[in-house]
Structure 1
Amino acid sequence: MADLLIISSSIVRPVNNSRSGRAKIHLTPFDLTQLQYDYPQRGLLFPKPDPNFDLISRLKASLSVALETYFPFAGRLVKVENLEDNSASFYIDCDGSGSRFLHAEAKSISVSDFLQPDGSVPNFIKLFFPADDFKSCDGVLEPLLALQVTEMKDGVFIGFCYNHLVADGASMWNFFHTWSKICSSGSVSSDHQPLILKGWFLDGINYPIHIPVSETERSQPSRELSSVASTKDRVFHFTKKNISDLKAKANSEVDSSDLKISSIQAVSAHMWRSIIRHSGLSRERETHCKVAVDLRQRLNPPLEKDCFGNMAYLSSAIATVEELLDRGLGWAALQINKVVKSQTNENCKTFAEDWIRNVKNLKVGVGGRTDGDTIVVASSPRFEVYNNDFGWGKPIAARAGPGNSISGKLVFFPGIEEGTIDVQATLWSHVLVNLLADVEFVEHVTIA
């Protein structure tokens, strides 16, 4: 295990912090479905800055400025007990309590230790993230955003985790980009726009939403999920040619001239089929591919494209193992395509109304299926990841942390070369071994 030393832990509050006049953010059914989800954890690896660069003080000062604009990250989750019906309600109080900032050192770790040539993710990476077991419901006590800056022998890693009730990946990366620009330039740019809250609630649904108290109590991970040794992480790189070939193959197998399979759908289908092929499931078994869908532009009227909040919803494509393996890449990609397209304004409204009438299984969370039958496609290669320069150079790698680490979690990042995709996969060890020996899988992915 790597030697990592926490140098300091502090709370960074918005500059010119005022608790008056801040927003109270009510939570939608799409937010509350994630009450028991772990905080997503992501991070970027940077080269080492010049010794004269005042790293920690500049990062903390610019973070304070960024939090003035992105004030929900400095708030807290509030839980209200409704004694009249034995339920609880939640909202985000943008009270300026602040975000956690950790400064750590791992002087024995080098960039080459971190970036394995075969794409393996070393076990010590979990130490580079600021939280091990935060769930969204913990936001009543824990910050909604935590960051850890780890100084390495020849690099710096900035890891973060955030509460999914307050934001999704799109909002988080927009914040991160703003923070980096402030740190690099020393001030907020003149063209910077004030934060636009999603300000959205479905007609006919009253808030705050009441949830049975039994569903709001913190769930504990199963023994299977808490076994660190049972899963391994690997980064698979898809070049432009890999992606082009998969996309062409998928579209050639889809019998429709007006329907096009996207690059992300083709890569997701390839990962889904390949992983399930080695999961040891019976051919009659149902398998799921859960895809995070951004709802902003799917509502009527649509929301602002860059509005802040959580507007991601996990939607499931479902197939039997027999269908998935026998009907080809195009058929699998088509199932993903259909489930993404099904997220219309009307379907969102129906889901929300049904969910409120029958709130259940919140404790299942993202890790509810632990027996290898589910793939979860998280994050997006469309997020702005490599264009984040804090003043000493752009990132050289992106990684995901241990949150929601069930076997089958796939975190999509853009590759460092434009038009490429990196997929960080968390898999049972035996599934990974078989996957790497699968000629059909490795034909369309670059491993070394």
Structure 2
Amino acid sequence: MAKKVELISSSLVSATATAASMSRLELNPWDLKMLSAFTIKRGLIFHRPHFQSQQNLIQHLQNSLSRALDFFPPLAGRLAATPHAGETASFFVDCNNAGAEFTHAVAAAVSISDIIEPRYLPEIVSSLFPISIGVHNYQGTSKPLLAVQVTELADGLFIGCAANHVVVDDTSFWHFFNSWSEISRGSESISKSPIFDRCNTTAAAAVDNRLIHIPTLEKNLIAPSRLRQKVFHFSKEKLFQLKAKAKSEAGTEKISTLQALIAHLWRSTVRSQIANNYPTTGVLKIVIGARARMLSLPDGYFGNALCSAALAIGEGELLQKGLGATALRINEVISAQSEEAMARDAEKKVEFRQMEVGVGSAPPLIIAESHRYDVYGCDFGWGKPIAVRSKKDQIFDGSVAVFPAAEAGGIDLDVCLKEETLRAMEEFLHQ
């Protein structure tokens, strides 16, 4: 039997509340920077739930999604734009309860092993995510800001979720996913309420920053990639060894597990590129969350709260000075992201630029997401997920997503690079 996904039904799911708790969500520069980027698309794989019927399962998930949207009214709304002079517009979220899209699909010949065991992420995974939501975030004016696809597998279930990055970052994305699973388990409320108040949106400068030049959106879109995507797994024991080695070489205790792992990944990437006579990656960019660094941001802040830090190291220094030296440089760059630096970034004027790569250089290695997200706490009532996967149309050469592994203490890296580089990395990463 051919491995394909059959779409059974699709509908809009609105919040149960007759009147939304908020009518409009203002957007700050952090949010607006995401207009030309891709939507966030993540999915969870589960063992097959025990429900009386297929329809009972789908109805249960639709009902719980509807009740979850009561707590997250922007996700049931639409992006709106107010035109201004000079081909500019200001954007906000109209919390009109137009609904999130819910799609039911069946992939009867696709098993869990077909998704998690292949060497590279199989093409079928792309079909497990909703296709109706806009690929780019600015399309949220006519597309849902949240879309869900529940696909029944031969021996399991895949819940794929797509959310507009203007409204959520990855922290907020998993906040919603966890809250929906709480409602699905039977809770009448959620353990962490979202806070939608945007910081720095009352100042005149911030208001000016919300005026976006429309032509910029069309000229500087990031093109989807068709590169290979592979998930590298690191056990708790392997991570302990990497961290111990990095700290020993650097002569310091302040290097974290993730910093040691990123250093190892970067050095392995460059070694693999050299082995294939490719240009080497001399720049590392790390997406850093602001919630833990800015006292003005509450834990439940729902929106975008992140900035990026860059580090450039030549291949000679990167490989000759060792793991510890690289990890220490990464630690210093991350430590420099103070509350003041984050606040300045939040107030920067919104400008969209194409990624520039120097002649003879590879694109930067970009590290996003976090192993601290409660991915495996998304229990909808039939047990924790088996694995997490992301949709490949939002990745590009050098993109790396960090996820917690299924077993406690482990980390999975979802890496997109040229296939030859990935193949060589299989050897270098596990030395």
TM-score by length of 2: 0.90
Contact 1:279 1:373 (8 Å CA) reproduced: no
Please provide the CA RMSD for this pair: 2.7
Q: 4+ residue runs of structure 1 moved beyond 6 angstroms?
A: 281-286, 365-371
Measure the CA separation in 1 of the matches of 2:383 and 2:80: 39
Alignment of 1:152-301 (within 5 A): 152-185=153-186, 187-189=187-189, 192-201=191-200, 205-207=205-207, 209-217=210-218, 219-222=220-223, 225-226=224-225, 228=226, 231-256=227-252, 260-280=254-274, 287-299=282-294, 301=295
| Amino acid in the other structure paired with 1:412 | V
Contact 1:88 1:216 (8 Å CA) reproduced: no
| Amino acid in the other structure paired with 1:420 | G
| Residues 372/161 of structure 1: CA separation in 2 closer, same or farther (3 Å cut) | farther
Q: Which runs of no fewer than 5 residues in structure 1 stay unpaired? A: 444-448
Measure the CA separation in 2 of the matches of 1:368 and 1:7: 47
Measure the CA separation in 2 of the matches of 1:365 and 1:142: 26
Per-residue deviation, 1:414? 1.0
1:110-152 superposed Cα distances (whole Å, 9 cap, x missing partner): 1121221x65321211111113861111111111111110001
- SS state at 1:217 partner: helix
Contact 2:29 2:206 (8 Å CA) reproduced: no
Per-residue deviation, 1:277? 2.3
Measure the CA separation in 2 of the matches of 1:205 and 1:310: 18
Identity %: 34
Measure the CA separation in 2 of the matches of 1:382 and 1:436: 24
1:384 matched to 2:378: no
- SS state at 1:339 partner: helix
- SS state at 1:138 partner: helix
Contact 2:231 2:413 (8 Å CA) reproduced: yes
| Residues 30/45 of structure 1: CA separation in 2 closer, same or farther (3 Å cut) | same
1:400 matched to 2:390: yes
Contact 1:79 1:91 (8 Å CA) reproduced: yes
Cross-structure match for 1:446: none
1:425 matched to 2:424: no
1:72-116 superposed Cα distances (whole Å, 9 cap, x missing partner): 111211122211x33222112222111111111100111121221
- SS state at 2:375 partner: coil
Paired residues, number: 424
| Amino acid in the other structure paired with 1:246 | L
1:25 matched to 2:25: yes
| Amino acid in the other structure paired with 2:215 | S
| Residues 286/159 of structure 1: CA separation in 2 closer, same or farther (3 Å cut) | closer
Cross-structure match for 1:310: 304
Per-residue deviation, 1:374? 1.4
- SS state at 2:205 partner: coil
| Amino acid in the other structure paired with 1:269 | A
Contact 1:176 1:388 (8 Å CA) reproduced: yes
- SS state at 2:344 partner: helix
Cross-structure match for 1:55: 57
Cross-structure match for 1:411: 401
Per-residue deviation, 1:32? 2.0
- SS state at 1:310 partner: coil
Contact 1:36 1:365 (8 Å CA) reproduced: no
1:342-361 superposed Cα distances (whole Å, 9 cap, x missing partner): 222322343345x32xx54x
| Residues 365/80 of structure 1: CA separation in 2 closer, same or farther (3 Å cut) | farther
1:76 matched to 2:66: no
Cross-structure match for 2:430: 442
Measure the CA separation in 1 of the matches of 2:219 and 2:64: 34
1:264-316 superposed Cα distances (whole Å, 9 cap, x missing partner): 111111111111222359999772222221112322x3311122111122322
1:217-266 superposed Cα distances (whole Å, 9 cap, x missing partner): 364555xx54x3xx22221111111100111111122244xx61111111
Measure the CA separation in 2 of the matches of 1:366 and 1:18: 46
Cross-structure match for 1:340: 334
1:174-230 superposed Cα distances (whole Å, 9 cap, x missing partner): 111111121121x424x74543224311756332522222213364555xx54x3xx
Cross-structure match for 2:313: 319
Measure the CA separation in 2 of the matches of 1:26 and 1:45: 34
| Residues 332/28 of structure 1: CA separation in 2 closer, same or farther (3 Å cut) | farther
| Amino acid in the other structure paired with 2:60 | R
Measure the CA separation in 1 of the matches of 2:290 and 2:57: 37
